Amino acid sequence: MFKFISVVMILTFFATLSQADEDLLCPEKPHYIVFDEADIKVCDLILDHALLDKPMSAHSVVASFYTEKHFYDKRDDWVASFVFDDGTQKYYGYNQQENKIQAMSSEQFFKKFKSINRCNASPEIPLFKKVIQNLNDPHLF
């Protein structure tokens, strides 16, 4: 019984320590969020790429873009989710250093989403969200 209690106490201590380390890595956030022309360009780049690969049966899409919200200079990695009206979901990642967009599985998306949003105050709220209707309209592109 004593061994069991000792093991539980040790595990609790290390779990608390790892949680504390995770919290220490997030610096104090500014009281504002910057979203500027450079961010719009990144979102448009990802959006254009995703719409080239859209399902033929889709007529509308909700696109959500996530990155580091509070620290503008740390926005190298972006992830985006696209939910089409036909039920199709697609995920993309973008790295500014490599200037590369790649399709992601849902597992890859949520893993990257978690690491990008770790220090964001409201991680479930995207930095930018766009709803597009009439995807089959020839004047859209």
Domain holding 93, by residue range, is 32-132
Q: Please, which pLDDT band fits residue 4 given cuts at 50, 70 and 90? A: very low
Domain contains 9: no
Q: How do residues 37-64 score in pLDDT, each as one tens digit?
A: 989 999 999 999 998 888 888 899 999 9
Domain contains 63: yes
What confidence score (pLDDT) does residue 5 get? 41
53: helix, strand or coil: coil
The proportion of the chain whose per-residue pLDDT surpasses 90, expressed as a percent, equals 45
Whole-prediction pTM value? 0.75
Domain contains 12: no
Domain contains 20: no
Structural domain tally of the chain?
1
Domain contains 22: no
Domain contains 83: yes
In the sheet that holds 61-66, the strands lie side by side as 100-104, 89-95, 77-84, 61-66, 128-132
> What b-and-e string marks burial along 69-93, b requiring 16 or more CB atoms within 10 Å of the CB?
bbbbeebebbbbbbbbeeeeebbbb
Q: Please, which pLDDT band fits residue 131 given cuts at 50, 70 and 90? A: very high
Q: Which residues pair with 103 in a beta bridge?
A: 92
What confidence score (pLDDT) does residue 30 get? 65
Q: How do residues 66-102 score in pLDDT, each as one tens digit?
A: 988 777 777 889 999 999 999 999 999 999 999 999 9
